[in-house]
Amino acid sequence: MKMFVKTGDTVVVLSGNDKGKQGKVLEVSPSEGKVIVEGIHVVTKHVKPRKMGDQGGIVKVEGAIYADKVQVVCPSCKKPTRVAHKAVVADNGKKRSIRVCKHCGEEL
Ligand SMILES: [Zn+2]
């Protein structure tokens, strides 16, 4: 699956319990089409102490959510946007595709 989000992107959640919340993408899983976003879809996990003196107990971790439930927030205009692609010619003369904001056209 082709992913439009990248690690480090700020995204907004479009549906579900975390609708409207924003967070930074911590992990992208193209094979599942899922992303893990900081502070989003936090689930509690019970952890057993692994060694002596270890606390164990309950920890909160971010669960993966479907990438199509999030939209990238443009760092330039701060609006959630669909990702557009634009071909640009780099300094070395090679063409490459960059991700741009549909609102302001700035590179994401
Ligand atoms: Zn923008």
Compute, in angstroms, the gap from residue 55 CA to the centroid of ligand 1. Answer: 45
Number of structural domains found in the chain: 2
Quick check: 61 and 42 in contact, CB under 8 A?
Answer: yes
| CA 82 to ligand 1 center in whole angstroms | 10
Q: Same domain, yes or no, for 68 and 78?
A: no
Instruction: Provide the residue range defining the domain that includes 3.
Output: 1-49+56-73
Q: With a cut of 70, say whether residue 82 has pLDDT above it.
A: yes
pLDDT tens track for 87-101: 999 889 999 999 999
Assess whether 5 and 41 both reside in one domain: yes
Q: What is the pTM of this model?
A: 0.82
27, 36 in Cβ contact below 8 A? yes
For residue 3, what are the CA distances in angstroms to 57, 73, 81?
35, 15, 15
User: Which two three-digit tokens encode residue 95?
Assistant: 């063409």
Q: How far is the CA of 64 from the centre of ligand 1 (A)?
A: 26
Give the pLDDT confidence score for residue 41 in this predicted structure.
Answer: 95
State the distance from the centre of ligand 1 to the C-alpha of 83, rounded, in angstroms: 10
Q: How buried is residue 11: exposed, middle or buried, by Cβ count under 10 Å (0-12/13-18/19+)?
A: buried
